[in-house]
């Protein structure tokens, strides 16, 4: 059995643009397939204020990034468990989410990965499909630029 390829690394001081170009080429060729590629939709970095309700208490928090069917939420100072259901409120819209993962950031702060259970239309207030199309177009242009220089 062949060993798995080493994940690409970026060495900011070693080779400058050359290392970055190698990173993009290696990723473009399929190296380093991870959980990111198993996602149903791409993450969009977006910080939005949200209210999180669990066990009858409401907390102010913020999104770190979004997908069509979930979010990474930070700024929480409450104890959560994977599988637990929480309610997120964005403006006047509310939706239930399942806690998929939890990451302890400090003694009093956690980030959580949430998966939507019943997401209303345009819950986040932005068109994520358009965001994904723009990112793909930008990445394709960047890959084409670096491929020409190789």
CATH number at residue 54: 2.40.10.220
Enumerate residues 6+ apart whose C-beta is below 8 A from 64: 45, 47, 71, 72, 73, 74, 111
Q: Which residues of the chain, if any, have pLDDT below 50? A: 7-33, 36
The answer to whether residue 112 sits within a structural domain is yes
The answer to whether residue 6 sits within a structural domain is yes
Contact 80, 110 (CB under 8 A): yes
Bridge partner list, 34: none
The answer to whether residue 98 sits within a structural domain is yes
Same domain, residue pair 29 and 63: no
Same domain, residue pair 50 and 109: yes
The answer to whether residue 143 sits within a structural domain is no
Enumerate residues 6+ apart whose C-beta is below 8 A from 36: 43
The answer to whether residue 135 sits within a structural domain is no
Q: Is the dihedral of CA 31, 43, 97, 119 positive or negative?
A: negative
Please give the Cα distance from 69 to 119 (Å, whole number).
Answer: 7
Same domain, residue pair 6 and 49: no
Contact 80, 86 (CB under 8 A): yes
Q: DSSP characters for 100-132? A: EEEEE-SSS-EEEEEEESSPPTTSSSS-HHHHH
Which structural domain range is residue 19 located in?
1-38
Enumerate residues 6+ apart whose C-beta is below 8 A from 32: 5, 7, 8, 26
Indicate the angle between helix axes 128-149 and 17-28, nearest 10 degrees.
120
Same domain, residue pair 20 and 66: no
* pLDDT at residue number 125: 82
Query: Over the stretch 30-73, which tens digit does the pLDDT of each residue have?
Result: 444 455 455 566 778 889 999 999 988 999 999 999 988 899 99
Q: How many angstroms separate the Cα of 47 from the Cα of each of 28, 32, 66, 74, 135?
A: 28, 27, 9, 9, 17
* pLDDT at residue number 10: 38
């Amino acid at each position: 059995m062949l060993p798995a390829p080493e994940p690409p690394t970026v060495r900011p001081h070693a080779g400058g643009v050359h290392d970055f170009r190698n990173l993009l080429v290696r990723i473009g060729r399929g190296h380093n397939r991870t959980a990111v590629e198993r996602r149903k939709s791409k993450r969009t970095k977006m910080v939005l204020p949200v209210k999180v309700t669990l066990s009858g208490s409401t907390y102010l928090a913020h999104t770190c990034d979004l997908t069509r069917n979930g979010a990474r939420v930070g700024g929480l100072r409450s104890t959560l468990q994977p599988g637990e259901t929480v309610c997120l409120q964005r403006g006047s819209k509310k939706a239930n989410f399942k806690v998929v993962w939890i990451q302890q950031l400090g003694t009093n702060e956690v980030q959580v990965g949430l998966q939507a259970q019943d997401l209303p239309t345009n819950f986040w207030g932005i068109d994520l499909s358009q965001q994904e199309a723009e990112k793909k177009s930008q990445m394709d242009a960047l890959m084409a630029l670096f491929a020409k220089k190789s």
